[in-house]
Structure 1
Amino acid sequence: MTAEPTAAVRPRNRRQLIVDAAGRVFSKRGYHAASMEEIASGVGITAAALYRHFPNKYALFAECTNAMADGLVAALEEVPPAGALADVLAAVARVTVAHRESGGVYRWEARYLNREDRRVLRAKFGKVVERVAETVRREYQVPDEHLRAAAALGAIGSITMHHTSIAQRRAEDLLVASAVRVVATDPAAAVGSARLVELPAQPVPRTRRAEILAAAIPLFERDGFVNVTNGRIAEAVGLTQSALYRYFPGKVDILAAACLQAAALLAQAVEQNLRGVTGPYEAVVALAGTYVAYSFGHTALTSVADAELVGLPADLQRPLVIAQREHIAVWEQQLRLARPDLDPRQARVLVHAGFGVVVEAGRRLRWQDSLANRDTVTALLVAALGL
């Protein structure tokens, strides 16, 4: 006797499945390019069924941006108030690695939240930073605990910003160890490499095309690529909108050119500052000092390149991804020479952890460019790498 087919059972956690799928799509595509149809497809339902759970894309996006923050707050509440720093950071790493594919949404895309939702999200992450800072203060008795806490969280959060394949537990252990080293580092004992770094000057806009790029970058940084029109860019350089198309086919081509400019400047800076460097430790320190100086010296350019890359079409992304991989390869080679105990995946994860330190420490310092701040952040980056 043949059994009759059973009706499909609707999963009880469908709303959570939707949020998880949406987080992955928003991370991959960006808020504006993501579609409800693609998100629904990732859950195996129709877009119409998706709207039964969320009234619109913004409502779903807002819940996605809060998913990691809520998870972090809940995980830290389970750690006893007097819990050790390693336990606090392990709780953070566990949630962050678990949300790896969707966790990047909050870092760049959260700027598209409305003012009240941004305030709520900032408050949640503020609680996380404060909890880590309290533990740092108790265990290390240092005056700059918030900077170290933010930098340590940047090391852990970096796992959401790249795709290096590594087992979850292995990633957690590697990131916690990196974050602990960051916290244990005294920035006052900075390596001083900032004073040895020379950055290539940003090109002076001598052509109309260069003027357009120079005008577009700060607009993209302040308002986001989607919110900046061709008309505003044209107005900033004294052109009509139709005249703009003589130099760039479209706004996305301006963005791609800006990102390529960022990659070229960084590659030039690395080449310049590695000349004459002999040992791998010295090379890694030089790379660290260069990356920090570049990040502080070209904040608008790097911010746009990092935040808007996902919005580029695949053909325009490709040369930028190649440039990024080449940059990481230089770091990986020198770091593994300095630390032979690391395999390639571990080295790449730690390099990205160092980049995460720079982003969060730089934000904490409001990107105020000074030799002291560059030295401080360089010391924290080097610590993240385990040197």
Structure 2
Amino acid sequence: MTGREEPTAGRRRPRDRRRQIVAHARELFVDHGFPNVSMATIAAGVGITAGALYRHFSDKADLLRAVCLDGFAYQDDPIRDATPEAFIDGAIAAVSARPYLGVLWFREIRYLPPESQREMRARLRRWTHSFLPVLGRARPELDDGQAEILAWSLHSALAGLVTRSGRVPEDERVAGVRTAMSVLIRTQLVPTGPWMPTSPRRLPQSRRERLLLAATEQFGERGYSETSMANIAAAAGTTGPNLYGYFESKADLLRGVLDRGRHAAWFVLDRALAEADSPESALHLLVEGQLRLSRTWTRWVVDPEIGDELIAGTQRAQSEYIDEWTALVCEADPAAGRLEARMRVIIATAILSDLGRTPRVSARTTFASNVQAIAMAVLHGDQPAPSS
């Protein structure tokens, strides 16, 4: 046995070798993270040499691009001329068949070269904009900005199908996404306002706070392993020696970021519980607070390379936070089962996080009003929202 891909007597090279490589690489990237997978490991998994693998792909980034293009190939075939019900069914069928999409999009795509990232985002925009004709036929009164924010909300709702949450079975997930998408298509919005003037974000004077903000941004954009302390120091407008005066290592800085994000979210929750006079008003306050956090502390993505202990602690804190929202949804709508309520929360918080970082919709003066109305509609499910 030579282990080589070249055909020998009695064995031919499989015609679908490239597809085998892409499928195996996707599995490894999703399970272990792009930085932790070598070309040699991928080659061994499909029974070829590393040299044979390089005849198919020039490097690991080229292979990741192939994995992403294959995973998101459904975006090249948008759902056209469909009723809202047929559109929802078709979109759910396309996404639910690919449970790995959430990890690819939110975690792995950032390891692509910049031009490939732009290519993937352009494909996503085209597919999301293909929702507009369906919305136009169902809601001819919508202005262009209203239709666009609903289209992006529908896309975020679909992410609920590929969110890694073992606490919500697949059938409940599908049912929750279907209901949320139906609700979104009917959500009433205020007319779209003008673009907001852009101004630079005001930063705190504290150097430690600037470092935490810079680290959150850099970890979110680059991933933990690809972010250096020099990257973070430069983004914060300081130098490495100054950084090490506050944090002894990158792992120490990561713990600071995770702690700050967790504390920020729980301060929002504590305010909602303390000031609200009903579960409904508590949910309103939570939605407002979560939206404010969407550009900073909620953008962190858990990477496999940060270590099992930190991953487990972060996931446990996230789950406990979602539990608090879920309890409020159940109080506001006693007819909702706990799993149904949890899916409403997962989808609503995803919409707030995603749209808060989507300049195409978030730069409008009416963005906060409309995205909060969208999130509250999802949290209510099929129940009519109480009058304010």
Task: Give the TM-score category using the shorter length.
Answer: 0.7 to 0.9
Change (3 A) 1:236 1:283: closer
Q: CA deviation at 1:170?
A: 4.4
In the TM superposition, residue 151 of structure 1 has moved relative to its aligned partner by 0.5
1:67 aligns with 2:70: yes
**AA in 2 matched with 1:60:** L
Please give the TM-score of this superposition, normalised by the length of structure 1. 0.78
The answer as to whether partners of 1:221 and 1:300 remain within 8 angstroms in 2 is no
Structure 1 position 120, deviation (Å): 2.8
**Among residues 348, 359, 374, which one is paired with 2:353 in the alignment?**
359
Conservation of the 8 A alpha-carbon contact between 2:20 and 2:46: no
Please tell me whether the aligned partners of residues 73 and 124 of structure 1 are also in contact (alpha carbons under 8 angstroms): yes
Report the CA distance shift for 1:330/1:13 in structure 2 as closer, same or farther (over 3 A): farther
Distance 1:333 1:28, change over 3 A: farther
Which residue is equivalent to 1:300? 296
Q: Which moved more, 1:113-122 or 1:237-246?
A: 237-246
Distance in 2 separating the partners of 1:275 and 1:189:
33
Cα 1:237/1:294, change in 2 over 3 Å: closer
Aligned to 2:120: 121
Match of 2:230 in 1: 231
Change (3 A) 1:239 1:69: closer
- Give the Cα–Cα distance (whole angstroms) in 1 for the partners of residues 239 and 117 of structure 2: 35
The answer as to whether partners of 2:279 and 2:328 remain within 8 angstroms in 1 is yes
CA displacement, residues 138-197 of structure 1 (integer Å, 9 cap, x when unaligned): 11111121110110110112332322355545433321221121121012299xxxxxxx
In the alignment, what sits opposite 1:89? 88
Going from structure 1 to structure 2, the CA distance change for 1:90 and 1:187 (only over 3 Å counts) comes to same
Letter of the structure 2 residue corresponding to residue 281 of structure 1: E
Pair 1:374 & 2:365 matched: no
Q: Distance in 1 between matches of 2:203 and 2:116?
A: 38
For 2:180, the aligned partner's letter is: S
Identify the residue that residue 340 of structure 2 maps to in structure 1.
346
In structure 2, C-alpha distance between the alignment counterparts of 1:315 and 1:174, rounded to whole Å: 31
TM-score (norm 2): 0.78
CA change 1:117–1:283 in 2 (3 A) is same
Paired residue for 2:249? 250
> Which residue does the alignment assign to 2:197?
none
How many angstroms apart in 2 are the aligned matches of 1:182 and 1:348?
17
- Over the aligned positions, Cα root-mean-square deviation in angstroms equals 3.4
Further displaced range: 324-333 or 242-251: 242-251
CA distance 1:234–1:113, shift in 2 (3 Å): closer
Q: Which has the higher contact order (CA 8 A, sep 6+)?
A: 1
Structure 2, unpaired ranges of 5+: 1-9, 193-201, 384-388
Q: Secondary structure at the match of 1:361?
A: helix
**In structure 1, what is the Cα distance between the partners aligned to 2:38 and 2:254?**
22
Superposed CA offset, 1:36-72 (max 9, x none): 455557x564663655643421122001222332123
Distance 1:169 1:94, change over 3 A: farther
Which protein has the bigger helix share? 1
Query: Is residue 94–residue 172 contact of structure 1 (8 Å, CA) maintained in 2?
Result: no
| Corresponding residue of 2:5 | none
Which residues in structure 2 correspond to 1:197-276 (within 5 Å)? 206=206, 209-220=208-219, 225-234=224-233, 241=240, 244-276=243-275
Which amino acid in the other structure matches residue 321 of structure 1?
Q
Tell whether the 8 Å contact from 2:148 to 2:361 is kept in structure 1 after alignment: no
Q: What are the Cα deviations for residues 255-295 of structure 1, in whole angstroms up to 9, with x where unaligned? A: 23112211111111110122143433333333223212332
Task: Say if 1:259 and 1:309, in contact at 8 Å, map to a contact too.
Answer: no
